[in-house]
A and B are shown apart, each in its own frame.
Chain A
Amino acid sequence: MTVFVKGKDAFSFAFKQFTDTVYRIALHNTANFSDAEDVTQEVFIKLLESNKAFHDSEHLKAWLIRVTINLCRDKMKKSSRETLVENVLPYNRGEEKTDVLEAVKALPEKYRNAVYLHYYEGYTAKEIGKILDAKENTVLSWLSRGRDALRKELDGGFDDE
């Protein structure tokens, strides 16, 4: 297999190309900006430490996405243990959301990331399945349930057109 980038090169490449992607995913999966920033930084530290070789930029991107989601999960677990009170009502649950971003963030983790990867990053269900380690059909059902949930929450729904 071809080695596209590795170590410090992979870091520089990822920093230029994918910092925003990592930050956006982090923001989708954490409670606040400061946590998202912490996670983003941790992802890059992980990248440096792993010294992993990547076949192409897609390989690198997929790795970053997976690591970001995992680190966010760790972060949320930790912060829910540390600050129970703060996390009771993180997303104004119950009210009709005017902010589409808040609505997406309020979705269960799987739906949320599938929606982000499909609608923003343009991945197909099959590709998302590969990144998140799930079957294509599972991803399709996450997407449709996510869409349904958003339609209920948002004025005008969340349609493909």
Chain B
Amino acid sequence: MNKNDYIKAVDNIIAPQELLDRIEALEPPAKKKMPVWKTVTAVAACFVAVVIAFSGIVGGTLKAESEDYAVEDFNGNEVLFDTADKGAGSLSESPSVGISSASKTDRKIVKTATLSIKTKNYDTFMNGVNQKIEQYGGYIEKSQEYNYDNASNRNANMDVKIPADKLEKFIDELALIGTVTSKTVASNDITDSYIDVESRIKALETEEKTLLGILEKAESLTDVIELQQRLSTVRADLEKIKAQKQAYDGMIAYSGVTLDINEVERVVEGDDSFWGEVKEKLMNNLYDLGDFFREGTINFIAAMPYIVILAAVAVVVIVIIKKVRRRHR
């Protein structure tokens, strides 16, 4: 007796049909609930998707706005940089780390920038911005313009996409035509997620090929149907994950730039020195004082119609009082 006898003996052990039937009849634990479950899940998923999409839009705008306000509050009118001469210098020193170094390596970096800009010449600046966007092959994703109390207090919020390799140049050029009061450049490394997506695509493609190979050799109809079901699941997954990769590619190729543009009547040049601050505050106060008289005069003239009527009424009242006093005497 040797191992061949053993192999023969084991070969003869075959699971009895009755056992096979029992196993085949097994159902996944929550199978019966599935249809209801599926509908509920689908509806819930749709709902969640809508909510997320909506909150994404709203949250995005809100976030951008709150950041902008924070910048405004922080900077006020006092901490304005003049970009024409020293602003450009200070910008190149500011933390734009990672932009140039990142593009050199193979890492997948998503860059975003947020800029707050003040300008005296709103229309010229807006034209300049649009021109620069076009020049660098970018596009406007969203643009909102507000016009507050008067024509010299306009505000625009823009979401712009600029090819990642031209982001820095774009920002620098904006600084030349407007006054950048705050600038944030962020780099988000998505290499890990990206590699994950890539390998999933590879895996799914391999599986698709394998399944196609098996499908060619499949003989029974049930096998073919089962394989095709599996194949369509694989293909759907593949589509989904490919879309994800495309989204990543888009995010990497194009940097999102959020612009908050504010129209101001004047931009004060000042520096951090004592006299610079004195000059700045003095200028502000003188401006405010001038503004006060100017506003006062305007309001006075504007109120003329009322003043005339009031004066007339006063004259009539005085005349009557005088007449009454004379009679008394």
Interfacial residues, chain A to chain B (CB-CB below 8 A): 1-4, 7-9, 11-12, 15, 19-20, 22-24, 27, 37, 40-41, 44-45, 48-49, 51, 99-101, 104, 115-116, 119-120, 154-161
Contacts and interface: CB of A to CB of B under 8 A. Distances in A.
Interface of B, secondary structure class, is: helix
Contacts of A116: 10
- 9 nearest A-B pairs in the assembled complex, by CB-CB distance: A23-B15, A2-B203, A101-B9, A156-B1, A154-B1, A100-B6, A37-B19, A24-B13, A119-B3
A37 B226 CA distance: 27
Contact of B29 (A1, A4, A37, A48): A48
Given A4-B207, A49-B29, A100-B1, A40 B19 contact: yes
Contacts of B15: 19-20, 22-23, 37, 40
B213 interface: no
Contacts, number: 83
16 contacts: A1-B203, A3-B203, A4-B207, A15-B23, A23-B14, A37-B16, A48-B26, A101-B6, A116-B10, A120-B6, A154-B1, A155-B1, A156-B1, A158-B2, A158-B3, A161-B2
A7 B28 contact: yes
Interface of A, secondary structure class, is: helix
Interface of B: 1-3, 5-7, 9-10, 13-16, 19-20, 22-24, 26-29, 203, 206-207, 226, 230
A66 B26 CA distance: 21
Given A3-B203, A15-B23, A23-B15, A48 B6 contact: no
